Amino acid sequence: MTGEEKKVIFASSLGTVFEWYDFYLYGWTAAQIGKAFYSAFDANTQFIFALLTFSAGFLVRPLGALVFGRVGDLVGRKYTFLVTITIMGMSTFLVGLTPGYQTIGWLAPTILIGLRLLQGLALGGEYGGAATYVAEHAPQGRRGFYTSWIQTTATIGLFMSLLVVYIVRNSMSPEAFADPGLSGGWRYPYLLSIVLLGISIWIRMQLSESPLFQKMKDEGKGSKAPLSESFGNWQNGKYALIALLGLTAGQAVIWYGGQFYARVFLVNTLKVPANSADIALIIALAIATVGFLFFGWLSDKIGRKPIILAGCLLGALTYHFAFSLLTTAANPALEKALANAPVSVVADPKDCNVLFDPVGGRVFTSSCDVARNALIASSVNFKLEAGAPGSLAKVVVGNKSFDSVNGAGADPKAFAAARTAFTSAVTAAVGEAGYPIKGADPAAINMPLLILVLTYLAILVTMVYGPIAAALVELFPTRIRYTSMSLPYHIGNGWFGGLLPPIAVALVAATGNIYAGLWYPIAIASMTFIVGLIFVPETKDVDITKT
């Protein structure tokens, strides 16, 4: 690489650093976000609302792809992603300055959601611009390797967020870190992001326009209607659909499943101390990061399609085994209890509702829901058995049985007291049955095995993510490239990937199986493998200077 090419890659990649710094930062501080901005609700609902707020930014990413993709194809790559990184950076920074619910009431979550929406809109135009800009500077036969550097910066963003949160969290008391007020330590990493924003803007100001775009513009061959030209006719529109279903949807769920959900699973389900989980993730990602470059380079040799689809297929086939190994490594006591202490809920099926409450307005009063909630809080797998119509639900732990409580028509205070007593009795019983209610024993964690499994999951991420930018760029002509590649990428990553955490939480809550959340990424990855195998063309030899 020449010095100028290195500068192009570095400057273009800063947006990806910001994207993943914010993404993981929000994940690491989701509990504190919930406590600060949704303190009107109980702890479980706070966490669900925090995940939904997190997902709100992903939902609008396709809209951002349309808005900024059009600007990028009309005005230019450089100026568009100067605007996007500024909006994205300020949105992250202002989260740290926004007062919580206790200070300004419902205005607090309203502002938070607004910032997440702005961040998602800007991000919708960021990645397409960076990938297009780098690819249009790369020599023929090297696009996979050049654009793979953008993906490595995602790991840099992860490292930065982990490192900052780790330092801040361990430099103060847990109470000071979790303080929902403006002095809460969890806010500091958001405030520090202003430094990264300043550096990013300064470097990007020094860039020149993409040579391919500038040549096309000078010759008057640019598109005057990128949106209609990209998606208004089947000839181009079909490639956007193929890119979504045959590439980016599977790439997204493997990426989010292997990184973000793996961490959620370790901390929330397996009850691994956050520091232990973070250290294991840092080591695993440090080992696997070279995979982005390797698979980007390899895609220049053998093609983008076989590498991306192989990553999807491996994820679909091995996710259940890999996550069960995480349980073996991180919480062997829980694994033993799951195998030796079966638990069941016997209830009238009509008494059992969907536990996931996306709006936070429902109060679960049925005896079946109360019984299941008591078990889910302790990461207990249970089997739901049909009881007699109209019967009160009961929890069976070994040879012990506990009648649940029904709040329908009951005095709220009396019901709350009865529910607490029931939950305490069930919790004590599952604890006696061997379930580690207080969490994983740090001394029992098999750290080498834990790191090995996380490294494997991270390698799958590098397989699907390393070649994706080159594959998308090569599918579309220069005149509409920014718009055309941005939309399928951000629907895939914004919707299919961004919704993975709340969907996984919903599946676990509905089934009582701690591994049920994995069926979502497995199904999407399997779909992408089949669609990609049949419909996605190989593009590594496409000369983008002639498109």
Of 461 and 410, more confident: 461
| pLDDT range class, residue 299, cuts 50, 70, 90 | very high
| CA angle, residues 277, 280, 285, in degrees to nearest 5 | 120
Cα distance between residue 25 and residue 191, in whole Å? 12
Q: Helix or strand or coil: residue 396?
A: strand
Do 340-432 and 3-331+442-540 fall under one CATH topology?
A: no
**For the residues 247-258, what does the mean pLDDT come to?**
94
Which residues 6+ apart lie within 8 Å of 120 measured at CB? Answer: 56, 57, 58, 59, 60, 61, 64, 494
Of 493 and 470, more confident: 470
Residue 147 sits at φ, ψ, to 5 deg, of -75, -20
pLDDT higher than 80, residue 147: yes
The candidate with the shortest Cα–Cα distance to 111, out of 1, 36, 215, is 36
The pLDDT score that the predictor gives to residue 303 is 96
Sheet holding 383-386, edge to edge: 383-386, 343-347, 394-397, 400-403
Q: Where are the beta strands (DSSP E) in 8-159?
A: none
| pLDDT range class, residue 361, cuts 50, 70, 90 | very low
> Which residue type, as a one-letter code, is found at position 168?
V
- Break the chain into its structural domains and give their ranges: 3-331+442-540, 340-432
**For the residues 169-198, what does the mean pLDDT come to?**
89
**For the residues 257-266, what does the mean pLDDT come to?**
88
| pLDDT range class, residue 293, cuts 50, 70, 90 | very high
**For the residues 202-228, what does the mean pLDDT come to?**
74
What's the token pair of residue 543?
């000369």
pLDDT higher than 60, residue 352: yes
> Which of 49-53, 293-297, 415-419 is least confident?
49-53
| pLDDT range class, residue 503, cuts 50, 70, 90 | confident
**For the residues 112-119, what does the mean pLDDT come to?**
90
**For the residues 370-379, what does the mean pLDDT come to?**
83
> Which of 212-226, 470-484, 515-529 is least confident?
212-226
The pLDDT score that the predictor gives to residue 360 is 42
pLDDT tens digits, one per residue of 310-327 = 999 999 999 999 999 999
pTM over 0.85, yes/no: no
Q: Where are the beta strands (DSSP E) in 110-264?
A: none
| pLDDT range class, residue 519, cuts 50, 70, 90 | very high
- Pair 436, 443: CB distance under 8 Å: no
**For the residues 125-153, what does the mean pLDDT come to?**
85
| pLDDT range class, residue 474, cuts 50, 70, 90 | very high
> Which of 120-129, 360-369, 522-531 is least confident?
360-369
The pLDDT score that the predictor gives to residue 393 is 94
The pLDDT score that the predictor gives to residue 218 is 74
- Pair 136, 73: CB distance under 8 Å: no
| pLDDT range class, residue 359, cuts 50, 70, 90 | very low
Pick the CATH number of 340-432 from 3.40.30, 1.10.357, 1.20.1250, 2.60.40: 3.40.30
Which residues 6+ apart lie within 8 Å of 246 measured at CB? Answer: 528, 531, 532, 534, 535, 536
The pLDDT score that the predictor gives to residue 30 is 80
The pLDDT score that the predictor gives to residue 502 is 73
For the chain, give the percent of residues with pLDDT over 90: 35
Looking at mean pLDDT, say which of 32-36, 130-134, 303-307, 332-336 comes out highest. 303-307
Q: Chain-wide mean pLDDT for the chain?
A: 86
**For the residues 159-163, what does the mean pLDDT come to?**
82
- Give the class (CATH, top level) of 3-331+442-540: mainly alpha
- Pair 226, 70: CB distance under 8 Å: yes
pLDDT higher than 60, residue 457: yes
For the chain, give the percent of residues with pLDDT over 70: 95
User: Alpha carbon of 529 to those of 246, 395, 492, 517, 520: distances in Å?
Assistant: 7, 41, 14, 20, 14
Cα distance between residue 255 and residue 259, in whole Å? 6
pLDDT higher than 90, residue 499: no
Q: Quick one: residue 513, left, alpha or beta (phi over 0 = left, psi -120 to 50 = alpha)? A: beta
